[in-house]
Chain A
Amino acid sequence: MIRYIIKRIILMVPAIIATSFIIYFAMNMTGGDPALTLAPENATEQQIEEIREELGLNDPIYVRYGKYMLGMLKGDLGTSYVTKRDVFKTFMERLPNTIELAFTAVLIATLIAVPLGIYTAIHQNTWKDTGGMVFALFGVSMPNFWLGLMLIIIFSLNLKWLPSGGKEGIRSLILPALTVGMGFAALITRTTRSAMLDVIRQDYMTTARAKGASEKTVIFQHGLKNALIPIITVIGMQLSNALTGSVLAETVFSWPGVGRLIVDSISKRDTPMVTGAIIMSCVLMCVVNLVIDLIYAFFDPRIKAQYSRKG
């Protein structure tokens, strides 16, 4: 098992190199000449050339990429063109905000969706099932920014209960987390429902009932535990999405997270910032996926056995 984990961590290296390579090239081949963007308006050709030299823009791109990757090993992702601040540091400042929003949103989604999914599965083909699924469909089809705006209109502008944006304590977390969470809840509900429907028909559920277990025990102990793998998968996917920044929600609620950092930097043509932030997000995603794979093993002995064999 430990060997499996180490192997997975080593395997992450080529994955990160490949994605960073693609991102670095894409970012540096497009977007025009940064020296022109950076130079003062009435700069002479010579001044511009000096800036180019200073930024290392005259080296061939693969040399620049090599230097960039060496820097990355030391936690150096360059300096922002706009703020002149360290990219890595800026990203790390924003990351806790995104993590906070992501985890709260996923938590809200899970608390709503998993019970709802189980409930609709147990009452399959009744009006209770239909009601639950209509809710889920509503959640899926409702655009995130629209829901965000509605929540702002109701809870900030009309009722004046909650702030409409920014980040001041727990109160300002509620609306963005609800907005992101509702979108997630829909998908998690549907996944939970279909996983439970699968499990409910299994013979071992009848075995449990025949032992004299109560319906509650049968559903939660025997059923849910077997349905967990797809549920964890979809929750994990949502979490890793949210961790790379919920761009829309962060924008609507002026939430100072990674998503907004990337959007702002793109509009300012801040190439080092965008490149660094996206690459860091990819690293983060790899880590989250690994953690989720390891959680599988915790819940399913068959997967654990598989990992041990592979390890």
Chain B
Amino acid sequence: MTDKILEVKDLVVQYVTDDGCVEAVNDLSFSIGKKKTLGLVGETGAGKTTTALSILNLIPSPPGEIKSGSIMLDGSDVLTMDQEELQKMRGNDVAMIFQDPMTALNPVMTIGEQIAESIELHEKISKKESMERAKEMLKLVGIAESRAYDYPHQFSGGMRQRVVIAIALACNPKLLLADEPTTALDVTIQAQVLELIKKLITERDMSMLLITHDLGVVAEVCDDVAVMYAGRIVEIGTAAEIFNETAHPYTEGLFNSLPNLKQRGEKLVPITGMMPDPMDLPEGCSFAPRCPYATEACKKANPGLRHLGGSHYVACQAYERENFKLGGEQ
């Protein structure tokens, strides 16, 4: 079991609001190998951010609540840690890059201070030394050291995301949670930032959970891929397995609606309909209402993960039928 840095088992997270209970994450299980990158793919509202915050045990409460499950980080369960252990773990063992760099930085602190804070929290180090280290981090992410004394409002979105990366990597964490790190950036900057993350991860032998709704990004960076839909993993496997032997109708839908991977199919077909409201999930498979292959059986029971070979799993009842193949049957 020591080849895994992270093992999430049967995680259930809900947000209890006045309007009802949001079932954001339902029975989620996955693991990340040491020095591996897992891509977590899914559309907005699928529960990706909730999953990442759970790993830091940082679900805002109220309204959020981790109902059950375990999150083993290098052998110890994040969900049973006390405050002190959590503070030690956050930033030091696991760090997070947030989706929106425009709001992730504190507007009244210099960026140097914000990077240095990370270091000061985890190492016995003088203010002066930590500032020196912060400047080194800035250089590492491609920002001039002299800008350590500037404030976030003096930086562009791409530069701010570099600062966020510097903060995350300042203490050399073992695991990086990158929550759609390029979504909020200009298209031209996206590739640069992704390249930077990839380079730093490899150099430092880190593992990463890369959250995205962009399969192109996944293809470029990830070893393994988990596809998430309405709080559940519907397909998981190595990147090669997911890309070459796509098994779940939802994953297929994602590929078909992707312009730059168009060579896979002839025409661009968006998935019809919308993801169900996690406050009111349908009985049975959550994707059934949008699924071109769905039968009556799909609407009755929720499919468990089925092993397809290698490390490839899919949650789809259609595979109960003999000879079922995506695109082939109908």
Check A305 against B153 for contact (C-beta < 8 Å).
yes
Is B44 positioned at the interface, with any CB of A under 8 Å from its CB?
Answer: no
Selected from A206, A208, A213, A299, the residue in CB contact (under 8 A) with B108 is: A299
Residues of A262-293 at the interface with B, using a CB-CB cut-off of 8 Å, are: none
Query: B87 to A213, Cβ gap below 8 A?
Result: yes
In this assembly, does A14 line the interface, its C-beta being within 8 Å of a C-beta of chain B? Answer: no
Taken together as a complex, chains A and B put the C-alpha atoms of A213 and B91 apart, in Å, by 9
Is the C-beta of B300 less than 8 angstroms from some C-beta in chain A?
no
Q: Which residues of B contact A210 (CB under 8 A)?
A: 56, 58, 90-91, 95-96, 98
Near A by CB (< 8 A), chain B positions 75-111 give: 83, 86-92, 95-96, 98, 100, 103-110
Flag if A207 contacts B153 (CB, 8 Å).
Answer: no
Does A28 count as interface, using CB distance less than 8 angstroms?
A: no
B90/A209 in contact, CB under 8 A: yes
Does B243 count as interface, using CB distance less than 8 angstroms? no
Query: Could you give, for residues 208-246 of chain A, a 1 whenever the CB lies within 8 Å of some chain B CB and a 0 otherwise?
Result: 111111110000001001100000000000000000000
B219 to chain A, nearest CB (A): 28
- Contact between A226 and B108 (Cβ–Cβ < 8 Å)? yes
With A203-B98, A213-B87, A302-B151 known to touch, is A208 a contact of B106 (CB < 8 Å)?
yes
Select from chain B the residue with minimum beta-carbon distance to A125. Answer: B62
Q: By the criterion CB–CB under 8 Å, are B108 and A207 in contact?
A: no
Please give, as numbers and ranges, the residues of chain A lying within 8 Å of B167 by CB-CB distance. 207, 211
Mask for B39-76, Cβ within 8 A of A = 1, else 0?
Answer: 00000000000000100101010000000000000000
For the complex formed, measure the closest distance between the CB of A225 and the CB atoms of chain B, giving whole angstroms: 5
Complexed CA–CA distance, A225 and B167 (Å): 20
Q: Tell me the complex Cα distance, A206–B64, Å.
A: 14
Which residues in chain A, 167-212, are within 8 Å of chain B measured between CB atoms?
202-204, 206-212
B214 at the A/B interface (Cβ < 8 Å)?
no
Asked if A204 and B118 sit within 8 Å, CB to CB, the answer is no
Which of B91, B107, B108, B121 neighbours the largest number of chain A CB atoms within 10 Å of its CB? B108
Cβ-defined contact, B153 with A302, below 8 A:
yes
B89 pairs with A212, CB closer than 8 A: yes
Contact among B58, B60, B96, B103 with A204 in the assembled complex (CB-CB below 8 Å): B103
- Chain A hits for B12, CB < 8 A: none
Cβ of A301 within 8 Å of any chain B Cβ, yes or no, is yes
Q: Does A53 contact B (CB under 8 A)?
A: no
B88, B98, B110: the one within 8 Å of A207 (CB): B98
Contacting pair A214 B151 (CB below 8 A): no
The listed residue (B91, B104, B117, B122) touching A203 by CB distance below 8 A is B104
Q: Which residue of B lies closest to A205 (CB)?
A: B106
Nearest CB of B to A134, in Å: 22
Total interface residues on A, using CB and 8 Å? 21
Q: Closest CB-CB distance, A109 to chain B, in whole Å?
A: 24
**Residue B314 is within 8 A (CB to CB) of chain A in the complex:** no
**B110, closest chain A residue (CB):** A301
A195 CB, nearest partner CB in chain B, Å: 13
B164: chain A residues at CB < 8 Å are 207
Interface residues of B, CB < 8 Å — how many? 33
Q: Are A211 and B121 in contact (CB under 8 A)?
A: yes
A300 CB contact (under 8 Å) in B96, B108, B122: B108
- A207 to B164: give the CA distance in the assembly, Å: 9
For residue A208, which residues in chain B have a CB less than 8 angstroms away from its CB? 106, 117
Residue interface bits A243-258, CB-to-B below 8 A is 1, else 0: 0000000000000000
A212 touches B104 (CB 8 A): no
* Complexed CA–CA distance, A211 and B151 (Å): 19
Give Cα A299–Cα B106 distance, bound, in whole angstroms.
13
Query: Residue on A with the closest CB to B87?
Result: A212
* Chain B minimum-CB-distance residue to A225: B108
Smallest CB separation, A39 vs chain B (Å): 63
Contact B100 A203 (CB under 8 A): yes
B164 vs chain A, min Cβ distance (A): 7
Q: Is the CB of B108 within 8 A of A211?
A: no
In Å, the complex CA distance between A11 and B83 comes to: 53
Contact present for A211 and B90 (CB under 8 Å): yes
Tell me whether B104 and A213 are in contact (CB under 8 A). Answer: no
B58 & A213 in contact (Cβ 8 Å cutoff):
no
- Given the known interface contacts A301-B153, A305-B153, the answer about A207 and B106 at a Cβ–Cβ threshold of 8 Å is yes
| B92 neighbours in A (Cβ, 8 Å) | 212
Query: Cβ of B98 and Cβ of A206 under 8 Å apart?
Result: yes
Q: Which B residue sits closest to A304, measured CB to CB? A: B151
Q: CB-CB < 8 A to A214: which residues of B?
A: 83, 87
In whole angstroms, how far apart are the Cα atoms of A215 and B90 in the complex? 13
Q: Assess the A207–B104 pair: CB atoms within 8 A.
A: yes
Residue numbers in A under 8 Å from B106 (CB-CB) = 204, 207-208, 222, 225-226
Cα A146 to Cα B109 in complex, Å, equals 45
Contact of B103 among A203, A211, A213, A215 (CB under 8 A): A203
Question: Closest A-chain residue to B62, C-beta based?
Answer: A125
Min distance, Cβ A212 to any Cβ of chain B, angstroms: 4
Q: In the complex, are the beta carbons of B88 and A212 less than 8 A apart?
A: yes
Can you report 27 residue pairs joining A to B where beta carbons are below 8 Å apart? A203-B98, A203-B100, A203-B103, A203-B104, A204-B104, A204-B106, A206-B60, A206-B104, A207-B104, A208-B106, A209-B58, A210-B56, A210-B58, A210-B91, A210-B98, A211-B121, A212-B122, A213-B117, A214-B83, A215-B83, A222-B106, A226-B108, A300-B107, A300-B108, A301-B110, A301-B153, A302-B151
Kindly list the 7 A-B residue pairs having the minimum CB-CB distance in the complex, ordered from nearest: A212-B91, A212-B90, A203-B103, A211-B91, A301-B151, A204-B106, A210-B96
Known pairs A204-B104, A206-B60, A206-B104; list 16 more (Cβ under 8 Å).
Answer: A203-B98, A203-B104, A204-B105, A206-B58, A206-B98, A207-B106, A207-B167, A209-B56, A210-B90, A210-B98, A211-B167, A212-B121, A222-B106, A225-B109, A226-B108, A305-B153
- Chain B residues engaging chain A, CB cutoff 8 angstroms: 53, 56, 58, 60, 83, 86-92, 95-96, 98, 100, 103-110, 117-118, 121-122, 151, 153-154, 164, 167
